[in-house]
Amino acid sequence: MELDQDLLSRQQARELARLAGEAQKILITFPQEKLDAIVEAVGEAFSKEAVSLAEMAVQETGFGNIRDKTAKNRFAADTVRQAVRGMKTVGILSRDGKKKLWEIGVPVGVIAAIVPSTNPTSTVCYKAIIALKAGCPIVFSPHPKAIACTRRAAELVAKAAEAAGAPKGAVGCLTIPALAGCQELMAAPETRLILATGGPAIVKAAYSSGKPAIGVGAGNGPAFIHHSADVAKAVACIAQSKTFDNGTVCASEQSIIVEKGMEDAVRREARNQGFYFMDTQEAGQLARLLFRPNGTLNPEIVGKSALHLSKMAGFSVPPGTKILVAREQEAGPTRPYSMEKLCPVLAFFVMDSEEAVLNKAIEVLSHEGSGHTFVIHAQDEAVVERFALKIPVSRFLVNVPAALGGIGAETSLFPALTLGCGAVGGSSSSNNISPMDLINLRRVAWGLKEPTECRSEEPVTDDLVELLTQKILERLG
């Protein structure tokens, strides 16, 4: 007898949410020290399996490469774990004697976590660490293209968490891939918050679920190489970022913008570092592969190398080619190079002035990527300040590989694999999402002044009570 996959998935989602709800009743009683011990155990166990999980993810999805997926896994297990060490998330967080105000951290409760196919295993570890640090159970909904590796990562996390004292059900994972199950998990009575990382459709579903949600928009960050920049270093940063895991990090650069006077220098240095500038015919051939007729990104090009992409498009490039570049001047739905491309492909904009560069960057981001990430390479702090005040992003990066700077690997931003885009990007948060986004604050406030309305210089007598009563009756009647 063949059972209905949608019904099975829904039933599993209900059961996992119920178990997580029971686990929440126990987790909420844990002091900070016990939560911290669970987080340490999870990170340590995951770090040991970083390579095997990376191999599994690449084999199952076909996205990226083992070396960089291993680095992502260790980033989630080690860098995130180190960042939350010493962070106070539950109990009394602060006491302000002067203001007579306390703040108490309270877990939001059960979290439904949507996992993308581009970063399946590392996202599980990262979201588990920030959730458990905040005292919240978490249930994962894998992408159908990455269900086996996501399930393995979640099992590893759950086992380590339970061995360290977490209640059963504190970490769960759907194993029957169906949209119906994901929707059931988001709508479950026990679910208190949805942490959605994925495509526009799933993020929209999260925000439409009727539950509080933290979703993230598309990345489409331009990189501006200013005339004050160290060009060789700027190009090296872009190369490192855009080739990292074959371009699957949403914060990675999607275009380079320069003033006309910088074009030759940037082209020359980029060629020296393995960038291939496609001619019009080659760019047209690749453009037809990047997006499907309905406007969505073609999954067949995601996380593939430049050499692989050129072969798919039907042209050849030199053996050492790292990144494919197409000349572009406009942004919009008919301009595929102006959009997010989760592979080592860049648009190249050449503008007449610095003002034109600023306007073009805003145009590109307004089309796609508002609120996400922008990077500038410059030594002139005045131009950095000018652009930072006007570019509509949550992460404005300076002289750093955007993929690594945006996630906090090479900047002081909180290390995260879920990057909020703020209201301008359709997100409820502009943060690199941390445990502090997964707690509520209970505020204890003392009165600062003596009450004055009921004061009276004369003692209260029966005659006064009778008079007041008479006045009240007159107003009522």
The residues assigned a catalytic role are 250
Which residues are 376's β-sheet partners?
224, 398
Rounded to whole angstroms, the Cα distance separating 343 from 341 reads: 6
Rounded to whole angstroms, the Cα distance separating 408 from 417 reads: 9
CB neighbour list of residue 236: distance below 8 Å, 6 or more residues apart? 273
CB neighbour list of residue 463: distance below 8 Å, 6 or more residues apart? none
HEC profile for 200-216?
HHHHHHHHCCCCCEEEC
Which residues are 303's β-sheet partners?
none
Rounded to whole angstroms, the Cα distance separating 231 from 238 reads: 11
Tokens of 262: 């910088």
> Using CB atoms within 10 A of its CB, is residue 149 exposed (0-12), middle (13-18) or buried (19+)?
buried
Residue owning tokens 């042209």: 315
Which residues are 258's β-sheet partners?
350
Q: Work out the number of other CB atoms within 10 angstroms of the CB of residue 284.
A: 13
CB-CB contact of 290 with 254 (8 Å)? no
Which of 77, 105, 52 shows the shortest CA–CA distance to 436?
A: 105
Residue owning tokens 């406007």: 295
HEC profile for 40-61?
HHHHHHHHHCHHHHHHHHHHHH
CB-CB contact of 132 with 161 (8 Å)? yes
List Cα–Cα distances, 420 to 74, 108, 318, 437, 448, in angstroms. Answer: 22, 18, 38, 11, 37
Rounded to whole angstroms, the Cα distance separating 203 from 323 reads: 29
Rounded to whole angstroms, the Cα distance separating 21 from 106 reads: 15
First to last CA, the chain: 75
